[in-house]
A and B are shown apart, each in its own frame.
Chain A
Amino acid sequence: MLFQIAWRNIWRNKSRSLVVISSIIIGVWAGIFILSFAWGMYKNNINESVYRQLSHIQIHHPTFGEENDSKFTITNTDEKLKQFQSNAQIASVSSRVISTGMITSPTTASGVKIYGINPASEVTQIRLNEYVREGAYFETGKENEILIGEKLAKKLKVKLKSKVVLTFTNTEAEIISGAFRIGGLYRSKNISLDEVNVYVQQEHLRELLELKPSESNEIAILVKDEEQLEAIKNYSRTVVSKGKIEDWKELSPELGMIIESFNLYTYIISGIILLALTFGIINTMLMSVLERIRELGMLMAIGLNKSKIFIMIMLETFYLTVIGCPIGLLVGWLTVTVLGKTGINLSMFSEGLASYGFSSIIYPALDQEKYVIIVTMCLITAILSAIYPAYKALQLNPSEAIRKI
């Protein structure tokens, strides 16, 4: 019986019910949109790091990470690379020889990390060629060509075709110097790395370091589907049995921090939105109760007891919420899906952004889990915010209430 009364009540005054329903729709939508947008922003940063710098998986000699010494190598790299390439789940794989040392120009010196790369394979791996601003990406084929960051070039006061000297220790702990000619200048989106990372031909660096052919320090893997990350990690263990295999989360704990902060941030933002929603609902429901004083008084006078009045008002709110939530969910989901395809171009809001080289298009995205959380939280909020108005209704004195206009 009460269910029916409540249901009819909400349709008796359509505009009032629509206000509450729309508040709920907007609350759910806003929650979904904000979270998906914020996640899109973080995802943007994470992808930048994963696809342009770290790759999904890196394999090193177990002690290479701690000692940073080029003598800790993975042997028979060529063969292993072939094995990885034959796996259909792997998008790209490349090997690197790495050494740390000093770069010297006629004016000054600076500490650098020297990457011996295979230019062709880095095109698919970190798309290094796209970053080249001046000169060319290892085109001359000369073995002493070097690619350095624009920022480092500025610091060293060198230009394209200038000569620089790299000094580092080889595997026998002897100090080696090699002269290189700058073939290209690059600028990536992570300017602080531009100052330390320099790239040379792998073969040449290997010779200078006196490594054996086909020895290298790092194997980087990009997978096709991130879901498969664990499977590929396991597969890597079979290919490189002695290597230390790390995924991007282990490689860059900062990204872990970003994700952790995101979770915290999520709760704070949803809290603020839900609060805003709560006051919207409390106000409207309170007004609707107080507006109906006469009617409620009448109901009491003809014998509806207080607990039933309370339940009736709670039921009304519940119905309104149950109508609002799915619509909000649908609208939110549609927004995320559509914007997730087209993207939101932030450069509209900040002209400077694009010139910094940040990718200014954000693709909102959200896990299913988060949808559920938002809807549950909105449901709970809506019902909680009905308690006060319903309680207010209980305070009514029927004889006074009826006389009120």
Chain B
Amino acid sequence: MLLKLAWLNIWRNKRRTIITATSVFFAVLLAIIFRSLTEGVYDNMIHNVVSYSSGYLQVHQKGYWDEQSIDNTFKEDEQLYQELLKNPNVTHIMPRLQTFALASYGEKTRGVLVLGIDPVKEKAVNNLHEKITDGQYIETVNDNAVVLGEGLASQLKLKVNDTLVLLGQGYHASSAAAKFRVKGLMKLGAIELNNSVVYMPLQQSQYMHGAEGRLTSVSVMLDKTTDLEKLKQSIQESIDPEKYEVMTWKEMMPEMDQFIEADSTGHYIIIGVLYFVISFGLFGTLLMMIFERKHELGILIAIGMKKHLLAIILLLESAMISLIGCFTGVIAGFLVIKWFSAYPIHFTGELKEVYENYGIESIIYFSSHEKIFIVQTLIVLLLSILLAFYPGYKVMKLKPVEAINS
């Protein structure tokens, strides 16, 4: 009975209902967009950073992380690749042999990071070939050439087609030394990497280190929205735990995780203020509704309606309106985010340049985790229902005679 009364009431004055529902609608929409945007910025940053460095997850020989030496490598294993790629969230895998060596050209010698990569797989993940500023990218796993960061090249004073000498430690204490033609120079976003990296086809690197068919790690790239911990679990279960260790980027780069943690704490405060503005908008609408209906409410009480029943009806009305607003808000939020995921906003001008210099895609990326939709809607719903107690409270204090005369 009360439910029906409330339902009829909200449609008696459509305009008012629509206005209030719109407030809730925009509250939900804005909260979702805000969260999606802030989460999206992190997702995008993480995605870009890990695609050049560790990948979202890495599989190593057990014990490699604690002692990163070439002796802790494992044999390339087609079965492991299959096992990893079987997971639907895994988009790419990148086998790598990562070592430290001295690089010489002429009189100059520098310590460098030697990354033995599969050029084709790497290119698919981070568009490495587009970073080439001079010369060419390495094409296949056995191309006898290297590509290095511009910063390193200028320190060594070498150009494309010069010959680079690498000297390092090989597998089982053998010595690794070889000469390579420099096929291309590339500009990488991260300065440290730009000043110290030598990319080389995987097989060449394995041959030079006397570690044929061996890898230090397999990097795993995932869909941006994947639940990292869960996936780590499932990968760990599918491969031999005695032989391999699986690590997430959070474990390998704790400083980035901490930075994000620190930054997102600040966002809680910001979104708190947004909720405040939103609830005030809603409150204003409810307040106006009460002014408007004073006369009507007064008459209802005068003809014998119990005050607390009336309060409950008002509460039900607000709850219904909030539900309508929330529901449409979620749908609209979903559509907006779908739209922006399909047609992302690109930065322009100076900022675009700055971002691209850092190797970060210059787009504003919106995250579409289900969590955002659910949590934000619930919060707004809770806020609007809390606020809906106010009209009820007003009714309890209403003096019918004054109200009718107002």
Residues of A within 8 A of B (CB): 13, 15-16, 19-20, 22-23, 26-27, 30, 33-34, 37-38, 41, 66-68, 100-102, 107-111, 155, 169, 173, 175, 190-192, 253-254, 256-257, 260-261, 264, 268-269, 272-273, 275-277, 279-280, 283-284, 286-288, 290-291, 344, 346, 349-350, 352-353, 356, 358, 360, 362
Q: Contacts of B176 on A, CB cut-off 8 Å?
A: none
Docked pose: A23 CA to B285 CA in angstroms = 11
A151 to chain B, nearest CB (A): 9
Q: Which of A273, A284, A350 contacts B288 (CB 8 A)?
A: A284
Q: Is A15's CB under 8 angstroms from B287's CB?
A: yes
B9 within 8 A of A: no
Is the pair A276, B266 in contact by a Cβ cutoff of 8 Å? no
Q: Which residues on the A side are within 8 Å of B22 (C-beta)?
A: 279, 283
Q: Which of B75-83, B311-319, B351-359, B385-393 contacts A (4 or more CB under 8 A)?
A: B351-359
Q: Is the CB of A279 within 8 A of B107?
A: no
* Interface residue from B255, B288, B357 paired with A253 (Cβ < 8 Å): B357
Q: Does residue B341 face the partner (Cβ distance < 8 Å to A)?
A: no
* Shortest 3 CB-CB contacts between residues of A and residues of B: A280-B281, A111-B111, A287-B288
A279 near B266 with CB under 8 A, answer no
Q: Is A350 a contact partner of B277 (Cβ separation < 8 A)?
A: no
**Smallest CB separation, A20 vs chain B (Å):** 7
Is B100 interfacial (CB-CB < 8 Å)? yes
A65 to chain B, nearest CB (A): 10
Q: Does B258 contact A (CB under 8 A)?
A: yes
Is the Cβ of A264 less than 8 Å from the Cβ of B347? yes
**Interface assignment of B178: CB less than 8 Å from any CB of chain A:** no
Additional 16 contacts, C-beta under 8 A, given A19-B283, A346-B266? A19-B287, A22-B280, A26-B280, A30-B277, A34-B274, A41-B263, A67-B154, A67-B157, A68-B195, A100-B110, A110-B100, A260-B351, A276-B30, A280-B284, A283-B284, A362-B266
Is the contact region of chain B dominated by helix, strand, or loop, or is it mixed? Answer: helix
B196 within 8 A of A: yes
- 21 pairs, CB–CB < 8 Å, chain A vs chain B: A20-B284, A23-B281, A23-B284, A26-B277, A33-B273, A34-B274, A38-B266, A66-B155, A100-B111, A190-B255, A257-B354, A257-B358, A260-B350, A272-B33, A272-B34, A275-B30, A276-B26, A284-B285, A346-B262, A349-B265, A356-B262
Q: How far is the CB of A170 from chain B (nearest CB, A)?
A: 12
Contacts of A358 in B (CB 8 A): 258, 262
Which residues of B have CB within 8 Å of A155?
Answer: 68
Q: Cβ of A260 and Cβ of B196 under 8 Å apart? A: no
Complex Cα spacing A352 to B257, Å: 12
Interface string of B249-276 (1 = CB under 8 A from A): 0000011001001110110111001101
User: Which A residues lie within 8 Å of B162 (CB)?
Assistant: none
For A38, list chain B residues within 8 Å (CB): 266, 270
Q: For the complex, is B19 an interface residue (Cβ under 8 Å from A)?
A: yes
B-chain residues with CB within 8 Å of residue A360 when the two chains form the complex = 262, 265
Q: Is the CB of A37 within 8 A of B269?
A: yes
Known: A269-B270, A279-B22, A287-B19. A101 touches B111 (CB 8 A): yes
In the bound assembly, the distance between CA atoms of A108 and B100 in angstroms comes to 11
Known: A26-B280, A110-B100, A283-B19. A37 touches B351 (CB 8 A): no
Contact of A102 among B26, B111, B292, B350 (CB under 8 A): B111
Q: Does B291 contact A (CB under 8 A)?
A: yes
- Taken together as a complex, chains A and B put the C-alpha atoms of A270 and B232 apart, in Å, by 38
Q: Which residues of A contact B288 (CB under 8 A)?
A: 16, 19, 283-284, 287-288, 291
Q: Min CB distance, A312 to chain B, in Å?
A: 19
- Determine if A283 and B255 form an interchain contact, defined as CB atoms under 8 angstroms apart: no
- Does B217 interact with chain A (Cβ within 8 Å)? no
Residues of B near A15 (CB, < 8 A) are 287, 291
Contact A264 B351 (CB under 8 A): yes
Which A residues lie within 8 Å of B289 (CB)? 287
User: Measured between C-beta atoms, what is the minimum distance from B36 to chain A in Å?
Assistant: 11
Tell whether B330 is near chain A: CB-to-CB under 8 Å. Answer: no
**Residues of B in contact with A, size category:** 35 or more
| Cβ-neighbour of A276 out of B16, B155, B278, B355 (below 8 A) | B278
Q: Is B240 an interface residue when CB atoms closer than 8 A count as contact?
A: no
Query: Do residues B281 and A276 form an inter-chain contact, with CB atoms below 8 A?
Result: yes
Partner of B15, one of A169, A277, A290, A362: A290
Smallest beta-carbon distance A378→chain B, Å: 12
Q: Which residue of B lies closest to A191 (CB)?
A: B255
Of the candidates A19, A20, A192, A353, the one having the most CB atoms from chain B within 10 angstroms of its own CB is: A19
Q: B254's closest neighbor in chain A, by CB?
A: A191
Whether, in the assembled complex, B136 has its beta carbon less than 8 Å from a beta carbon of chain A, the answer is: no
* CB-defined contacts of B196 to chain A, threshold 8 Å: 111
Q: In the docked arrangement, what's the CA distance between A67 and B151, Å?
A: 9
Contact of B37 with A by CB under 8 A: yes
| Contact present for B354 and A253 (CB under 8 Å) | yes
A273 touches B274 (CB 8 A): yes
Is B69 interfacial (CB-CB < 8 Å)? yes
Q: Is the CB of B276 within 8 A of A350?
A: no
Q: Is the CB of A107 within 8 A of B273?
A: no
B292 nearest CB across to chain A (Å): 5
User: Which B111-134 residues sit within 8 Å CB-CB of chain A?
Assistant: 111
Closest to A284 in B: B284
Query: What is the bound-complex CA distance between A33 and B154, given in angstroms?
Result: 46
Contact check, B262 vs A37: say whether CB atoms are below 8 A apart.
no
Cβ-defined contact, A291 with B258, below 8 A: no
Q: Which residues of B contact A350 (CB under 8 A)?
A: 261-262, 265
Structural contact, B16 and A108, CB atoms closer than 8 A: no
Among A254, A283, A291, the residue within 8 A (CB) of B291 is A291
Determine which of B109, B254, B277, B285 lies in contact with A27 in the assembled complex, contact meaning CB atoms within 8 Å.
B277
In the complex, the answer to whether B16 meets A287 with C-beta atoms within 8 Å is yes
Is the C-beta of B402 less than 8 angstroms from some C-beta in chain A?
Answer: no
Per the bound structure, the CA–CA distance linking A289 and B174 in Å amounts to 87
On whether A356 and B350 interact (CB within 8 A), knowing A275-B30, A291-B291, the answer reads no
Partner of B266, one of A37, A108, A254, A277: A37
Contacting pair A30 B284 (CB below 8 A) = no
A346→B273 contact, CB < 8 A: no
Closest to B16 in A: A287
Q: Which residue in chain A gives the minimum CB-CB distance to B109?
A: A169
**Measured between alpha carbons, how far is A58 from B255 in the docked complex, in Å?**
26
Q: Which residue in chain A gives the minimum CB-CB distance to B262?
A: A358
Smallest beta-carbon distance A269→chain B, Å: 7
Chain B residues lying within 8 Å of A264, measured Cβ to Cβ, are: 347, 351
Q: Which of B329-368 contact A (CB under 8 A)?
A: 347, 350-351, 354-355, 357-358
